[in-house]
């Protein structure tokens, strides 16, 4: 099934797949560059989402450049019936950029993961300790990042097209 995408929508997708401008109103700046209003840009993004042509937009935060030198992946064993409750609590921490569930394996029982960012290892461990205390989940480990190898966004349209 081929999906039709207008020239304007292609230009919008090209613009938002790049880094957002670091200005007070990034969508206004993008709209200005495209020669449309900010309202039209936002309406087209909403329509693209509703039509299933653009499912999501995500941010890439370069944690180390932002001063967070310690990044620990909290790996937790959480009962299935508490997944949503515990996941929502984790996601409420400003030090946590994302929380997700993964399948377990005989040699890896952890099913819920939270990426915790801190200025020190102690900061990361304190967030994990607080979560453990609030939830009663004591079976967890923290895996620390040692090197960032790749962090890029998918490109759907390029200038070469």
Residue 151 pLDDT more than 70? no
Q: Are 74 and 142 in contact (CB under 8 A)?
A: yes
Cβ-Cβ contacts under 8 Å for 55 (sequence gap 6 or more): 49
- Provide the mean pLDDT of the chain: 88
Q: How confident is the model at residue 86 (pLDDT cuts 50, 70, 90)?
A: very high
Q: What is the pLDDT, as a whole number, of residue 67?
A: 64
Which range has the worst mean pLDDT, 45-49, 58-62, 85-89? 58-62
Q: What is the pLDDT, as a whole number, of residue 154?
A: 61
Intrachain domains 7-50 and 70-144 with the same fold: no
Q: Which CATH code for domain 7-50?
A: 1.10.10.2890
Q: How far apart are CA 1 and CA 97, in angstroms?
A: 35
Q: What is the pLDDT, as a whole number, of residue 153?
A: 62
Q: How confident is the model at residue 121 (pLDDT cuts 50, 70, 90)?
A: very high
CATH of the domain spanning 70-144, picked from 3.40.50.1010, 3.40.50.1110, 3.30.70.3460, 2.170.120.30? 3.30.70.3460
Average pLDDT, stretch 115-131?
95
Q: How far apart are CA 157 and CA 161, in angstroms?
A: 7
pLDDT one-digit tens code per residue, 2-15: 678 899 999 998 89
pTM of the model: 0.61
Q: What is the pLDDT, as a whole number, of residue 64?
A: 63
Structural domain boundaries in the chain: 7-50, 70-144
Q: Is 112 left (phi over 0), alpha (psi -120 to 50) or beta?
A: beta
pLDDT one-digit tens code per residue, 18-28: 888 889 999 99
Going by C-alpha positions, the residue among 94, 161, 97 that lies closest to residue 130 is 94
Q: How confident is the model at residue 160 (pLDDT cuts 50, 70, 90)?
A: low
């Amino acid at each position: 099934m081929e999906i039709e995408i207008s020239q304007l929508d292609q230009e919008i997708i090209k613009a938002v797949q790049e880094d957002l401008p670091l200005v007070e109103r990034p969508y206004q700046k993008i709209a200005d560059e495209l020669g449309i209003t900010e309202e039209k840009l936002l309406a087209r993004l909403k329509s693209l989402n509703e039509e299933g042509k653009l499912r999501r937009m995500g941010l890439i935060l370069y944690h180390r450049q932002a001063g967070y030198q310690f990044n620990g992946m909290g790996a937790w064993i959480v009962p299935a019936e508490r997944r949503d409750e515990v996941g929502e609590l984790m996601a409420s921490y400003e030090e946590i950029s994302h929380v997700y569930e993964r399948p377990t394996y005989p040699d890896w029982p952890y099913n819920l993961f939270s990426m915790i960012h801190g200025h020190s290892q102690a900061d990361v461990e304190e967030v994990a300790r607080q979560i453990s205390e609030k939830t009663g989940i004591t079976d967890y480990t923290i895996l620390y990042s040692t090197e960032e190898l790749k962090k890029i966004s998918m490109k759907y349209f390029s200038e070469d097209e």
